[in-house]
Amino acid sequence: MLWADSDYAQRIMTTRSPLAPAAFPALPDIAGVTRRVARAQYKNWDRCDLTYVELTPGTTVAGVFTRNVCCSSEVELGREQVKGGSGRALIVNAGNSNAFTGYRGREAVEQIMEQVARHLGCDASEVFVSSTGVIGVPLPKDKARAGVETALTAEPCSWEAAADTIGTTDTFAKGSGASAIVGGKTVHVAGIVKGSGMIAPDMATMLGYIFTDAAVAPALLQDMLREATGGSFNSITVDSDTSTSDTVLLFATGQVGNAPLTTRDDPGADALYAAIREVALDLAQQVVRDGEGASKFIEIQVTGASSDDSAKRVALAIANSPLVKTAIAGEDANWGRVVMAVGKAGEPADRDKLAIRFGDHWVAKDGLPVDGYDEAPVAAHLKGQDIRVGADLGLGEGRATVWTCDLTHGYISINADYRS
């Protein structure tokens, strides 16, 4: 029997984001993956806050982590663990990031790793741990020990319950699934993610976990994950702040029985990568749709740049501009703020070649407002929930797309009182 999802309705959330999907998706079961949740009570709340995922022996793993130099012990250990390429378990603690907590924080993580390893009869290096929440408070060892003990023997739970349990300020559980044909066999991919604020691309973002039943060598799995995050988790931003705990892990159980993939030239490797990237992009965009206080989902597309990398930096300058984000929140077609953001990006640009659009409507070209500019269709576009902003630099073939959300009073309300 699956653990009941009643806790989903009870969790401590702000109002569900208006940009949230209608319902949690139906995700495929991944052979070799068993999910369980428990209440460690890291905070004074009535909800599950510890997730345990057991992985079948032989599971390979890849990971990408934050580049924030003030990272947590979980991240430091995880970077070394993925080099081994093997994973047997995942523990996720919600409500306490355990970052900037010195030796006490590291001891708590090592305690969890050893406790789970004893239960499974595996090496502690095969147990991955993530934590998310308030920075600067050591993870309480007693609560962690008791929570893990409960989780190890809890009833298996649904994807939605696991997705909900890893969240903090999230207003909805986030999941995504896909499939591909590899060696004549149907392989499945399923992922969950948490994230709402402190979101900026610097490899990775928030906490995300993707699982597949395909057999994939660790080096190829790492290559696939690194490439997939470039156009997904590393192409979103909510508030330009990069977390101390950001982690994305990809596990491959090999239970579908395909011939193990070792190179991108192997039959089916491209199809599997496409499924992984599809899931990663969907999860990343759900994080933006749950941006703290968000009311608009915004796509920023930059074309005509000197290179793709330059285009991405310009796109992020637009996406991270508080003036651009607040204008869109207020449905104000103040396209001059986009001009400003392009100009401040520190990338090659020519004022007299720049063109700006909202939706499909060009508002400026060649450094001037378009002849006969009519703001009415632009204003109509800004009244929607999904907003598209474009900037063509007129310099070359470089292009990039990033996703963000608007900036509202709701963001301030959440973050002015985050610790209570």
* DSSP assignment of 58-110: T-EEEEEE---TT--HHHHHHHHHGGG-B-SEEEEEEEE---S-HHHHHHHHH
267 shares a domain with 236: yes
Closest CA to 337 of 317, 323, 320, 351: 323
> What pLDDT score does 242 carry?
53
351 shares a domain with 283: no
Q: Which two tokens stand for residue 389?
A: 């902003």
Number of CB atoms found within 10 A of residue 235's CB: 24
Determine the 3-state secondary structure of 119 from DSSP: helix
CA distance 111 to 40: 15
Q: Which two tokens stand for residue 38?
A: 């428990």
> What pLDDT score does 1 carry?
28
302 shares a domain with 263: no
Last residue in a domain, options 270, 289, 308: 289
Last residue in a domain, options 289, 308, 327: 289
Do residues 164 and 173 make contact, with C-beta atoms less than 8 angstroms apart? yes
CA distance 384 to 90: 39
> What pLDDT score does 419 carry?
55
> What pLDDT score does 177 carry?
98
> What pLDDT score does 162 carry?
98
Domain count of the chain?
Answer: 2
CATH number at residue 411: 3.10.20.340
DSSP H or E run through 112: helix 102-120
- Specify if 1 maps to a domain: no
> What pLDDT score does 4 carry?
31
223 shares a domain with 91: yes
Three-point CA angle 8, 412, 208, nearest 5°: 45
Residue with tokens 């934050």, as numbered in its chain: 66
Strand-pair partners of 35: 53
> What pLDDT score does 135 carry?
84
- Specify if 180 maps to a domain: yes
Task: Tell me the C-alpha to C-alpha distance, in Å, between residue 306 and each of 303, 312, 389.
Answer: 9, 11, 19
262 shares a domain with 329: no
Do residues 35 and 211 make contact, with C-beta atoms less than 8 angstroms apart? no
Q: Which of 205, 212, 244, 404 is catalytic?
A: 205
- Specify if 244 maps to a domain: yes
> What pLDDT score does 409 carry?
87
308 shares a domain with 263: no
260 shares a domain with 161: yes
359 shares a domain with 387: yes
179 shares a domain with 162: yes
Q: Where would I find the beta strands (DSSP E) of 266-383?
A: 297-305, 355-358, 361-365, 368-369
- Specify if 76 maps to a domain: yes
- Specify if 137 maps to a domain: yes
409 shares a domain with 283: no
CATH number at residue 163: 3.60.70.12
Respond yes or no: is residue 205 known to be catalytic: yes
Three-point CA angle 214, 218, 223, nearest 5°: 95
- Specify if 420 maps to a domain: no
126 shares a domain with 243: yes
Determine the 3-state secondary structure of 384 from DSSP: coil
Last residue in a domain, options 289, 318, 346: 289
* Counts for the chain of helices (H) and strands (E), in that order: 12, 15
Strands 361-365 and 297-305: unpaired
DSSP H or E run through 188: strand 185-194
- What are the pLDDT tens digits along the chain (420 aa)? 233 333 333 333 458 999 999 999 999 999 999 999 999 999 999 999 999 999 999 999 999 998 777 788 899 999 999 999 999 999 999 999 898 888 999 999 999 999 999 999 999 999 999 998 888 899 999 999 999 999 999 999 999 999 999 998 899 999 999 999 999 999 999 999 997 654 455 433 479 999 999 999 999 999 999 999 999 998 998 755 555 557 899 999 999 999 999 999 999 999 999 999 999 999 999 999 998 889 999 999 999 999 999 999 999 999 999 999 999 999 999 999 999 999 999 999 999 999 999 999 999 999 999 999 999 999 999 999 999 999 999 999 999 999 999 999 877 776 676 555
- Specify if 370 maps to a domain: yes
Closest CA to 63 of 292, 258, 228, 285: 228
Burial of 146 (0-12, 13-18, 19+ CB in 10 A): middle
Cα 331 to the center of its chain, rounded Å: 27
309 shares a domain with 266: no
CA distance 33 to 191: 12
- Specify if 201 maps to a domain: yes
Do residues 132 and 92 make contact, with C-beta atoms less than 8 angstroms apart? yes
**265: domain range?**
6-289
